[in-house]
Structures are given as structure tokens and as C-alpha cells.
């Protein structure tokens, strides 16, 4: 495989199984370097240097791929670097038990094996942060960037071999055909970030080999605004979340549910936010990105043309320029085209309701969202929404910020994605002194519990 910084070269199909086989071989019968935490730390630093040393080239690639404004993407490996020693340390049970303590049960944190990591187009660098976790866990990885970001994918193909150990970390570039070939192979774990449609293809392929998977998907993330909220601030924040990266953010607010008493005020404040964000107009603004492809731009144009809602502002589309202006649509009915699939563009629908109970019914009548936003200063309402909905994360009085916080888990639930298990081995090694081992299936119960609970993250700004 060869690539320059501007031309994306797909990995030849026949190379793909060879790359997989060599990583498997190096994991199973390698030199044992993965067991050395200092080796993993070195590779983590190298991963960071790929971005630090080549900052302006990444900025250039992101601008080429999606007209991305400067500094709109980042990557942090230091958290994994600083914590890998304690993460990788064997641990004991959290509570002391007089029957089991003398047997010193211990959990070893063993890497699962070779990981396939499939990336989406919308945040080529940010979505790579999971790679740091896989490196910290001691897993060799194959990374498959999105073919819709050719400049970033080509830069990965050029730089990764210069910085990372090629025996264990490889880039495979390509589209559907190459990804299909990758998915035929028996990986030890697949991390997939992208749409639910392809997520189902990935899950089906993984099932053939009983490969555990992490699905990081999308969907329609709602924002609720009630009369106790600061309406001006709510409109600014929701609108910012919608225009950032031209609405192509997995946790962007997809639609807003506003109580009728503040609907007009909310719309007026959205117009004010629009004018203050783009005084010269969005087309000229350096902080407004473009849609990833002409096909995606056409999809958004179709939605704008077909909606039965009322366009308050925006609605301008230039297919060739991949431009869609920030668009606000009011009086959107629940069965409108805008309320079917994830919008993934700068079009914000406003749905009005009489009360919070109605908002909950709308949310619970749909697939579980990746994110849920509550704009309210009524503590009873916040509690009510939290207790009566399920989503990947909840943020109160702000949007999108949860994706930037490395201190809490990030993920979805149901159709917005699920963490089926972690990188470290799911086969717990219980070390029992004196050769006795009593099987009460407690470990399995704990595991079943931890993989079926939903880690909801709450923020309040």
C-alpha cells in the first residue's frame, strides 16, 4: 500500500487477509512486547506525536475533506498514557469475603487480541481516540478510515507507518468492498463507529465468528426546552450544536421539543443566534463547514423540499459546493420527513408540545437516542425526564460537551449503539490458591449485570 498526502490509495483486496494474518501471528506468537506496559506507553506517545508533529497537515486535510474550520478536532492520548499502569494491573474483588479471600481471587487484564477499528467520516480524528484504549489494553489494531475523508485517510496511511510499530498497528484504506473483506475475517474485537444501517451489517458479520463488538452509532437526539429555561441561552446553545461541523456530529441536537408557551420566543432567539453567529452570512463564514459529499447534500435538499413544516430561515442548498445553509423549520409534524432518520446536517426542526409528559411520549415512542438534552431550570422536570427516558447521555442546559469529557464513559443504548464488552479480556482468570475453585457463577452474574446496565452520564451547566 502506498499513498501520498493528497491521494488516497485503496489497500489491494488480496493484502487484507495477509495483514490480518500477520497481526494475529504477531499477537499469538510474537515477541511478547505487548505485555510490556512501557512498550504500550511508547506507542501511545507515538500516536500523539502523529498529530502533534503534523498539526498543520491535519488541519489542511480536514479543511480539504469537509471545509473544516481550524482547531475543530483534537486527539488526547495522555489519559490512556497516564492510566495504563493502573488499568492493566491485576485486581482483586472489591469486597473482602472470608470464604474466598484465602484463595486470592484475581482478575488479570488480558488483551483480547487483534482489533478491527472502522471509522466514520464526520470526525476522523476524534473518533480515533478509542484507538488509545486498544493500544493501552495491549491489542494490535487494524484501522479502516472512511473513504469519504480521502485527505485524512491518505494522511493516516502516510504517517501511521512512520510512527507506529507496523508489526502491530496497520491502516487499511478502502470503501464497501474492502470493508466487506475485512468483515469476513475472524477478529478478536470489532469497534465500529458509524450509522445504524452499516452497524447492522457489522453486527451480522461479527456474529458469524462470535466476535465481540462495540457499536458507536447515531440517531435522532432530541432537546427539550420548557418555560423555566433561559430561552435565549437555550437557543444559542442548541443552534451552535446544530451548525457545528455543519450538523455532522453524532450528538448534535437533531430536533427540539418546545413547550407551546415559549415556542415563539425560542424561534425568535434562534433567529437572533443565527444573525450573531453569521453576521456576513454562513456561506462566507470561516467557521461553517461543508457537507461531506454531493450525495449527502442532495439527501438534505430532498428533506428541505419535502418537509410539510414551515421554513423560518435558511433552506439554501448548492449541491456542487456541498453547501446547506443553517435552516430552522417550525410546526414540524411527528410523521414529517424531517422526523424519520437522523438529519446529520444543519437543519433544525421545532416540534411543539403542551407539556413535558407529551415530550416524554414522543421520545419514548422512538429509538433510544445517543444524547438527550434538557433545557430547564425546574428540578422536578429534570428528574422526571431522567427517570422516564433512556439514552446514551443526558446533558442539562448545554449540548455536545459530553463527547469531549474523558472522565466518563461515552456511548449509546439500543439503536444508538452499545458497548457489548471492553477491550480487556472478557474471560476472567480467577487464580485460586490450593487448587480449589467453587463455581457459583457469581462472576457471570456480575458480567451479565455490567454489560446490561446503562451508564447514563448527566451534566449540568
Q: Is 370 in the site for ligand NAD (CB under 6 A)?
A: yes
Q: Which stretch binds ligand NAD (CB under 6 A): 97-105, 171-179, 257-265, 449-457?
A: 171-179
- The nearer residue to ligand NAD, 217 or 223, going by C-beta atoms, is 217
Residues between 214 and 243 with contacts to ligand NAD, criterion CB under 6 A: 216-218
Q: Which stretch binds ligand NAD (CB under 6 A): 119-127, 279-287, 298-306, 359-367?
A: 119-127
Active site residue 250: yes
Residue in 167, 323, 10, 368 with CA at minimum distance from that of residue 2: 10
Q: Is 175 in the site for ligand NAD (CB under 6 A)?
A: yes
Q: Tell me if 369 sits within 8 A of 342, measured CB to CB.
A: no
Q: What are phi and psi of 378, to 5 degrees?
A: -100, 110
CA distance 222 to 216: 18
- The nearer residue to ligand NAD, 26 or 402, going by C-beta atoms, is 402
The one among 135, 250, 291, 381 contacting ligand NAD by CB under 6 A: 250
C-alpha cell belonging to residue 309:
413544516
Q: In this structure, how many other beta carbons lie within 10 angstroms of the beta carbon of residue 86?
A: 8
The one among 48, 105, 113, 194 contacting ligand NAD by CB under 6 A: 194
Catalytic residue among 158, 178, 216, 342: 216
- The nearer residue to ligand NAD, 123 or 132, going by C-beta atoms, is 123
Q: Is 144 in the site for ligand NAD (CB under 6 A)?
A: yes
Q: What are phi and psi of 49, to 5 degrees?
A: -65, -30
Q: How far is the CB of 123 from ligand NAD (least distance, A)?
A: 5
C-alpha cell belonging to residue 398:
448545554
| 407 secondary structure, DSSP code | T
Q: In this structure, how many other beta carbons lie within 10 angstroms of the beta carbon of residue 417?
A: 26
Active site residue 216: yes
Contacts (Cβ under 8 Å, ≥6 apart) of 13: 177, 178, 181
The one among 169, 344, 373, 375 contacting ligand NAD by CB under 6 A: 344
CA distance 17 to 20: 5
Q: Tell me if 115 sits within 8 A of 31, measured CB to CB.
A: no
Q: Is 122 in the site for ligand NAD (CB under 6 A)?
A: yes
Q: How far is the CB of 453 from ligand NAD (least distance, A)?
A: 18
- The nearer residue to ligand NAD, 66 or 262, going by C-beta atoms, is 66
Q: Which stretch binds ligand NAD (CB under 6 A): 46-54, 93-101, 140-148, 375-383?
A: 140-148
Residue in 65, 125, 68, 74 with CA at minimum distance from that of residue 287: 68
Q: How far is the CB of 182 from ligand NAD (least distance, A)?
A: 8
Q: Tell me if 157 sits within 8 A of 178, measured CB to CB.
A: no
Site size for ligand NAD (CB under 6 A) = 29
CA distance 374 to 394: 8
CA distance readout (Å), 407 to 400, 404, 418: 15, 9, 19
- The nearer residue to ligand NAD, 245 or 327, going by C-beta atoms, is 245
Report, as residue numbers or ranges, the catalytic residues: 216, 250
Residues in touch with ligand NAD (CB under 6 A)? 118-123, 127, 144, 146-148, 175-176, 179-180, 193-195, 198, 201, 216-218, 250, 342, 344, 370, 412, 417
Amino acid at each position: 500500500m502506498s499513498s501520498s498526502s493528497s491521494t488516497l490509495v485503496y489497500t489491494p483486496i488480496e493484502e487484507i487477509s495477509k495483514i490480518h494474518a500477520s497481526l494475529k501471528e504477531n499477537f499469538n506468537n510474537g515477541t511478547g512486547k505487548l505485555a510490556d506496559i512501557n512498550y504500550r506507553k511508547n506507542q501511545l506517545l507515538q500516536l500523539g506525536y502523529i498529530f502533534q508533529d503534523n498539526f498543520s497537515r491535519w488541519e489542511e486535510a480536514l479543511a480539504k475533506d469537509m471545509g473544516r474550520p481550524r482547531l475543530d478536532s483534537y486527539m488526547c492520548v495522555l489519559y490512556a498514557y497516564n492510566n495504563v499502569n493502573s488499568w492493566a494491573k491485576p485486581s482483586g474483588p472489591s469486597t473482602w469475603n472470608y470464604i474466598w479471600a484465602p484463595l486470592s481471587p484475581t482478575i488479570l487484564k488480558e488483551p483480547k487480541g487483534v482489533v478491527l477499528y472502522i471509522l466514520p467520516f464526520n470526525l476522523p480524528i476524534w473518533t480515533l481516540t478509542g484507538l488509545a484504549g486498544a493500544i493501552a489494553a495491549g491489542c494490535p489494531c487494524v484501522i479502516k478510515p472512511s473513504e469519504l475523508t480521502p485527505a485524512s485517510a491518505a494522511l493516516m496511511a502516510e504517517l501511521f507507518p512512520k510512527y507506529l510499530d507496523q508489526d502491530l498497528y496497520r491502516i487499511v484504506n478502502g470503501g464497501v468492498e474492502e470493508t466487506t473483506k475485512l468483515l469476513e475475517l475472524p477478529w478478536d474485537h470489532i469497534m465500529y463507529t458509524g450509522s445504524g444501517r452499516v452497524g447492522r451489517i457489522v453486527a451480522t458479520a461479527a456474529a458469524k465468528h462470535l466476535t465481540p463488538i462495540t457499536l458507536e452509532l447515531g440517531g435522532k437526539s432530541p432537546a427539550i426546552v420548557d418555560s423555566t429555561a433561559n430561552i435565549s441561552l437555550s437557543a444559542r446553545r442548541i443552534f451552535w450544536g446544530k451548525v457545528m461541523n455543519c450538523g455532522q456530529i453524532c450528538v448534535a441536537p437533531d430536533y427540539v421539543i418546545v413547550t407551546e408557551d415559549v415556542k415563539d420566543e425560542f424561534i425568535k432567539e434562534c433567529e437572533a443566534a443565527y444573525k450573531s453567529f453569521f453576521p456576513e452570512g454562513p456561506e462566507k463564514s470561516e467557521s461553517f463547514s461543508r457537507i461531506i459529499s454531493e450525495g449527502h447534500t442532495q439527501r438534505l435538499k430532498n428533506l428541505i423540499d419535502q418537509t410539510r413544516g414551515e421554513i423560518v430561515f435558511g433552506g439554501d442548498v448548492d449541491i456542487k459546493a456541498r453547501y446547506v445553509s443553517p435552516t430552522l423549520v417550525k410546526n414540524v409534524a411527528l410523521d414529517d420527513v424531517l422526523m424519520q432518520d437522523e438529519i446529520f446536517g444543519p437543519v433544525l426542526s421545532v416540534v411543539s408540545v403542551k407539556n413535558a409528559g407529551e415530550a416524554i411520549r414522543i421520545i419514548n415512542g422512538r429509538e433510544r437516542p445517543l444524547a438527550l438534552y434538557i433545557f430547564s431550570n425546574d428540578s422536578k422536570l429534570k428528574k422526571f425526564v431522567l427517570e422516564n427516558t433512556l439514552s446514551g447521555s443526558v446533558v442539562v442546559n448545554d449540548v455536545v460537551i459530553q463527547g469531549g469529557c474523558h472522565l466518563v464513559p461515552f456511548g449509546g443504548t439500543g439503536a444508538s449503539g452499545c458497548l457489548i464488552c471492553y477491550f480487556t479480556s472478557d474471560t476472567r482468570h480467577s487464580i485460586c490458591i490450593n487448587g480449589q475453585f467453587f463455581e457459583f457463577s457469581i462472576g457471570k452474574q456480575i458480567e451479565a449485570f455490567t454489560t446490561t446496565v446503562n451508564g447514563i452520564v448527566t451534566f449540568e451547566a
